[in-house]
Amino acid sequence: MKTELHPASGRGHANHGWLDTYHNFSFADYFNPVRESFGALRVLNDDIILGGTGFGEHPHNNMEIISIPLSGELEHRDSMGHVEVISPGMVQVMSAGTGIRHSEYNHSKDKPTNFLQIWIYTRTRGLIPRYDQKSFDPADCINKIQNLVSPDDKPVQGSLWIHQDGWISITRLPSGSEIEYNLFKPGNLAFVFMINGKAGISGQVAGKRDAVGVSDANSFTISSIAESEVLIIEIPEN
C-alpha cells in the first residue's frame, strides 16, 4: 500500500469576493505540475459562494460533475431545462457528455453556501448529457460506509450513477471508532477527503480538509481521533 498526505494548507486558493474557493488540483489560475489530477479524478473544489451570487451559465463536456452541498442551498439551472435546488444531505450528478451549459447560484440572498465540486473523467466520450439528484439519510453513514455514487454498469442499490468505474462514499465516525474501506474494484485508487474532524488513514494523520491518496491497496482503515466526516472517492488510475 502507498499513501500520500495532501494537506489542506497545500491547496490552491482564490478569493474573488463573491467566491472563496480551494482547489485540490490545478484549476483556473492555480497550476501545480504534481497536482493536476489523481487518476480519473480531475477536480475537487471546496467552494463558498456568498448570498445572491454564483456561477453564470457556462459549458462543460465529457466530464462527470458531482456536487455535494455542505451548508446552505445551491440552485442549478441547465440547458436541458432542469431547475433544481440542493442542500446538505443531497448529491447532484451531471454527465456533461457531448456538451451542456449550466449555472450554479446560491439560492439564498444573504447566507453563504459551501459545496464540494468534483469532476471525474468519463469512461467514454461523446455520451448523451444527463442530470440526476438524490437525498441520502445521514443516519445511514454513521459508523458505516454509505455509497452515494457508483458506475452505470455496476450500480449500488440506492446510489446515483456515473459513466466511470468510480464510487463516491461517505462515513461519519464518532471519536475513537474505526472502519475498513474495501475497494469495489481491485487496482483502483482512493482519494480520502476529510470534510471535518481528524483521523488516521493507514498511517497518515489527516485533519479537517486534508486528504490522503491511497494506491496499491485492496482495503484501508480509517481510525477517528476526533469525530470525523470522511468522503472517499474511488476511481481508476487512468
Mean pLDDT over 136-165 rounds to: 96
pLDDT one-digit tens code per residue, 11-59: 999 999 999 999 999 999 999 999 999 999 999 999 999 999 999 999 9
pLDDT at 74 over 90: yes
Mean pLDDT over 209-213 rounds to: 98
103's grid cell? 449555472
pLDDT one-digit tens code per residue, 158-186: 999 999 999 999 999 999 999 999 999 99
CA–CA separation, 41 and 232 (whole Å): 12
Q: What is the largest CA-CA distance in the chain?
A: 47
CA–CA separation, 154 and 6 (whole Å): 29
Integer CA distances (angstroms), 75 to 86, 100, 105, 142, in order: 7, 16, 5, 28
Burial 181-195 (b: 16+ CB within 10 A, else e): bebbeeebbbbbbbb
pLDDT at 238 over 90: no
pLDDT for the residue 99: 96
Give the residues across from 27 on adjacent strands: 30
- Contacts of residues 136-139 at CB distance under 8 Å and 24 or more positions apart, as own/partner, are 136/89, 136/90, 136/91, 137/89, 138/89, 138/172
pLDDT at 154 over 90: no
pLDDT for the residue 64: 98
Domains within the chain, CATH numbers bracketed:
2-235 (2.60.120.10)
Gyration radius from the chain CA atoms: 17
Q: Judging by beta carbons within 10 Å of its beta carbon (0-12, 13-18, 19+), is residue 168 exposed, middle or buried?
A: buried
Integer CA distances (angstroms), 112 to 8, 69, 107, in order: 21, 11, 9
Mean pLDDT over 144-153 rounds to: 97
β 167-173/160-162 pair status: unpaired
pLDDT one-digit tens code per residue, 184-206: 999 999 999 999 999 999 989 99
pLDDT one-digit tens code per residue, 81-112: 999 999 999 999 999 999 999 999 999 999 99
pLDDT at 214 over 90: yes
Give the residues across from 229 on adjacent strands: 172, 196
CB 230 within 8 A of CB 197: yes
Which residue, chain included where needed, has cell 457528455?
A: 97
CA–CA separation, 57 and 44 (whole Å): 20
Give ∠ CA 69-74-79 in degrees, rounded to 5.
120
